[in-house]
């Protein structure tokens, strides 16, 4: 077996080949310049991985999740935190946040039941998916859930019928400029439609609680919150002035980033910026504020260890090697789609000479290529049996795995 000497501060993380993104995507710079944030291997993780667990495996240090939660609370104290369960629905993960007092943004009855099963009060659960079956709304209502998202008239009617009198918030469509994993187009409606629907909500006997938006996941441009918040504030004003309806809540969704080895603002800078924007745009009257972090909460808490299955060249004259590893698009690395999310990769051979590689998963599907255009470089001596670590893989990995495409089992996850 190998003697693993992985280093979290490995050169691969800050190697120019791994850090193509520049601060230039932050269009509206307020406050100090972004800082480099290096993803970390904690002692607990190092200890666990030293025992050579079966790969592919994800190890998540829940203490890092706790630090993330507390940092966000400290940075944006006026906002309630509703963790977006889809980012990592592991019971141990959700339980740690529940114990810290977090609330939860859920998308399905299964996620609601997961939270309730861990003792979360239904008052701390939001049914935040804008696309819900009527019978799931009814079941959520029966369980005590009273906070629902919508972005369409038909959805509003379903909620009015099956969750009468509940608090509802309308999701606004916003551009996801600057986000590495955009969530645009599929969700939300225009400000004009939101205005009409919130008025209709009142006529249907619902509590028109407020508005929501999502600026796009891994959003590095602070200015995107200003754009969305000004739309929300406009709706608050219009409904009060034109219709005598007082909205009370702004749900600012997710979008807070996790470090992938690129320059990022700190969570404190996000918090200060967002709070200042709310106070400026809402004329000093602070609405109830909700944030729904997913990626931020778990990303940097996880490291995925994989084994190299094959290193090859398609021709002896080719410079670029193919590196096939035992984790891929179908057993957890779905966010490599379009090479959108670029995980820093470290090897115990870091420090040796490197060369360009294409990195691919183990299945017999040609879509199962992780990084081709992204210009990764890995040690020239890399060979089958070596292990690689993908950093910042604690969010949007395990829950994306298929049940076993091509017989390859989903990533085993360990929560420490
Ligand atoms: C996925 C999702 C989130 C979490 O987004 P991140 O970018 O991971 O923070 C928050 N709110 C809603 C409604 C979502 O669908």
Q: Residue 311 maps to which CATH number? A: 2.40.37.10
pLDDT digits (tens, 9 = 90+) for 96-129: 999 999 999 999 999 999 999 999 999 999 999 9
Strands 369-379 and 57-60: unpaired
Residue 359 forms part of a structural domain: yes
Q: Clarify whether residues 181 and 247 are in a common domain.
A: yes
Taking residues 133-150, report their average pLDDT: 98
CB burial of residue 402 (10 Å; 0-12, 13-18, 19+): middle
Nearest CA to ligand 1 atom 12: 253
Taking residues 147-175, report their average pLDDT: 97
Residue 293 forms part of a structural domain: yes
pLDDT digits (tens, 9 = 90+) for 344-400: 999 988 889 999 999 999 999 989 999 999 999 999 999 999 999 999 999 999 988
Nearest-atom number in ligand 1 for the CA of 107 is: 15
What are the backbone dihedrals phi and psi of residue 372, each rounded to the nearest 5 degrees, phi first? Answer: -125, -60
Nearest-atom number in ligand 1 for the CA of 255 is: 7
Q: Clarify whether residues 51 and 107 are in a common domain.
A: no
Residue 1 forms part of a structural domain: no
Last residue of a domain, one of 248, 267, 298: 298
Residue 12 forms part of a structural domain: no
Q: Clarify whether residues 82 and 168 are in a common domain.
A: yes
Residues within a 6 A CB radius of ligand 1 = 84, 86-87, 105, 128, 214, 217, 253-256, 292-296
Which among 249, 253, 341 is the best mutation to test ligand 1's pocket, defined by most ligand atoms within 8 Å of the CB? 253
Nearest-atom number in ligand 1 for the CA of 395 is: 8
CA distance 316 to 80: 58
Residue 346 forms part of a structural domain: yes
pLDDT digits (tens, 9 = 90+) for 212-256: 999 999 999 999 999 999 999 999 999 999 999 999 999 999 999
Q: Clarify whether residues 336 and 359 are in a common domain.
A: yes
Q: What is the CATH number of the domain that holds 241?
A: 3.20.20.10
Q: Clarify whether residues 74 and 48 are in a common domain.
A: no
Last residue of a domain, one of 256, 275, 298: 298
Q: Clarify whether residues 251 and 281 are in a common domain.
A: yes
Q: Tokens at residue 226, please?
A: 């200003």
Q: Which residues of 198-236 are buried (b: 16+ CB within 10 A; e: fewer)?
A: bbebeebebbbbbbbbbbbbbbbbbbbbbbbbebbbbbb
CA distances from 26 to 21, 145, 216, 238, 411 (A): 10, 38, 14, 31, 34
Which among 86, 129, 396 is the best mutation to test ligand 1's pocket, defined by most ligand atoms within 8 Å of the CB? 86
pLDDT digits (tens, 9 = 90+) for 36-50: 444 578 999 999 999
Q: Clarify whether residues 118 and 202 are in a common domain.
A: yes
Q: Which residues pair with 414 in a beta bridge?
A: 59
Q: Please tell me the predicted confidence (pLDDT) of residue 189.
A: 95
Residue 8 forms part of a structural domain: no
Last residue of a domain, one of 236, 266, 298: 298
Helix spans in 146-208 (H) = 153-162, 191-203
* Residue 2 pLDDT level (bands cut at 50, 70, 90): very low
Residue 319 forms part of a structural domain: yes
Q: Please tell me the predicted confidence (pLDDT) of residue 261.
A: 85
The model carries a pTM of 0.90
Q: At 24, is the secondary structure helix, strand, or coil?
A: helix
Q: Clarify whether residues 49 and 67 are in a common domain.
A: no
What are the backbone dihedrals phi and psi of residue 38, each rounded to the nearest 5 degrees, phi first? Answer: -95, 125
Q: Please tell me the predicted confidence (pLDDT) of residue 28.
A: 29
Residue 14 forms part of a structural domain: no
Query: C-alpha angle with apex 199: 198 to 201, nearest 5 degrees?
Result: 60
Q: At 297, is the secondary structure helix, strand, or coil?
A: helix
CB-side exposure of 133: number of CA atoms within 13 Å?
A: 6
Q: Clarify whether residues 206 and 136 are in a common domain.
A: yes
| Number of domains present in the structure of the chain | 2
Q: Clarify whether residues 97 and 44 are in a common domain.
A: no
Q: Tokens at residue 95, please?
A: 């339980």
Q: Clarify whether residues 149 and 257 are in a common domain.
A: yes
Is 170 annotated in the active site? no
For 368, the domain range is 21-59+299-415
Give 54-106 as a DSSP string: PSSEEEE-HHHHHHHHHHHHHHSTTEEEEEEGGG---HHHHHHHHHHT-EEEE
* Cα 314 to averaged position of ligand 1 atoms, centre (Å): 40
Tell me what percent of the residues of the chain surpass a pLDDT of 70. Answer: 90
Q: Clarify whether residues 325 and 384 are in a common domain.
A: yes
């Amino acid at each position: 077996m190998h003697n693993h000497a992985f280093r979290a501060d490995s050169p691969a993380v800050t190697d120019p080949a791994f850090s193509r993104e520049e601060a230039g995507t932050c269009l509206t710079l307020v406050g100090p310049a972004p800082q480099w944030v290096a993803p970390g291997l904690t002692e607990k993780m190092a200890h666990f991985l030293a025992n050579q667990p079966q790969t592919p495996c994800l190890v998540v240090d829940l203490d890092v999740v706790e630090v993330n939660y507390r940092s966000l609370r400290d940075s944006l104290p006026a906002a309630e935190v509703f963790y977006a369960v889809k980012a990592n629905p592991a019971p141990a993960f959700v339980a740690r946040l529940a114990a810290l007092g977090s609330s939860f943004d859920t998308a399905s009855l299964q996620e609601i039941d997961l939270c309730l099963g861990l003792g979360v009060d239904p008052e701390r659960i939001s049914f935040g998916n804008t696309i819900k079956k009527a019978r799931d709304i009814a079941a959520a209502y029966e369980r005590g859930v009273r906070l629902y998202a919508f972005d369409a008239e038909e959805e509003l009617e379903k909620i009015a019928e099956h969750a009468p009198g509940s608090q509802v918030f309308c999701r606004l469509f916003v551009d996801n400029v600057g986000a590495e994993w955009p969530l645009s187009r599929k969700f939300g409606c225009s400000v004009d439609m939101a205005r009409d629907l919130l008025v209709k909500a009142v006529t249907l006997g619902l509590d028109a609680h407020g508005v929501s938006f999502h600026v796009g996941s891994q959003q590095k441009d602070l200015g995107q919150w200003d754009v969305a918040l000004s739309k929300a504030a406009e709706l608050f004003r219009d409904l009060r002035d034109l219709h005598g309806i007082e909205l009370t809540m702004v749900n600012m969704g997710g979008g807070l980033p996790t470090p992938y080895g690129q320059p990022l603002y700190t969570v404190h800078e996000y918090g200060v910026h967002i709070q200042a924007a709310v106070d400026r745009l809402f004329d000093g009257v602070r609405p109830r504020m909700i944030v729904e972090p997913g990626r931020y909460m778990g990303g940097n808490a996880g490291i995925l260890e994989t084994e190299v299955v094959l290193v090859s060249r398609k021709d002896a004259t080719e410079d670029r090697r193919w590196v096939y590893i035992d984790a891929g698009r179908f057993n957890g690395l779905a966010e490599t789609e379009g090479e959108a999310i670029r995980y820093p990769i470290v090897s115990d051979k870091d420090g040796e000479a490197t060369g360009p590689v294409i990195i691919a998963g183990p299945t017999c599907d040609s879509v199962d290529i992780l990084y081709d255009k992204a210009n990764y470089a890995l040690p020239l001596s890399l060979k089958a049996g070596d292990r690689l670590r993908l950093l910042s893989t604690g969010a949007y990995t395990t829950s994306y795995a298929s049940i076993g495409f091509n017989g390859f089992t989903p990533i085993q996850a360990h929560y420490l």
